[in-house]
Amino acid sequence: MAKLTIKRPKQTFRGYREYINGIALEMVLIPDGTFTMGAPESEEGSRGKERPQHHVTISSFLMGRYPITQAQWQAIASRSELKVNQYLDPDPSYFKEPYQGIDRWQRPVEQVNWYDAVEFCDRLSKLTGRDYRLPSEAQWEYACRG
């Protein structure tokens, strides 16, 4: 009898996709690393509070691949039974018309503040059983610098 050999390509965790009312929310893995945080004095438009530059080491974390869309926001904000701390307007966005062929529900939500965003994350966590939160300033800068 011939020996059975199974070869599997090495798979690494890169994130996941979750569906809320059929609307995808895609999370991607941002790998750990060290980067220089802040702006050099020579950077046009930078402010003093962005200095001095310093090295920051970041552990890996998950972050949304795209900004939260109006559809994603409405799917969570309209669920009042998920309320944690405050009311969320299910349709806060100013831009409600299609633009350049992009349906408004695919456009990023806007006209929300930090407290609204925290409540959104808390509700999403409550619904899914996963831990959603806003990235720290260092995580945000690290992810943006790529």
What pLDDT does 5 receive?
Answer: 46
Mean pLDDT for the chain overall: 90
The domain ranges of the chain are: 15-145
Mean per-residue pLDDT, 26-41: 92
- CATH 3.90.1580.10 for domain 15-145, yes or no, is yes
Please state, in angstroms and rounded to a whole number, the distance separating the CA atoms of residues 69 and 82: 19
Rounded to two decimals, what is the model's pTM?
0.84
Minimal CA–CA distance to 66: which of 98, 101, 106? Answer: 106
Q: What is the pLDDT of residues 74-131, one digit of tens each?
A: 999 999 999 999 999 999 999 888 888 888 899 999 999 999 999 999 999 999 999 9
Nearest to 121 by CA among 134, 112, 108: 134
- CA-CA distance, 86 to 27, in Å (whole number)? 25
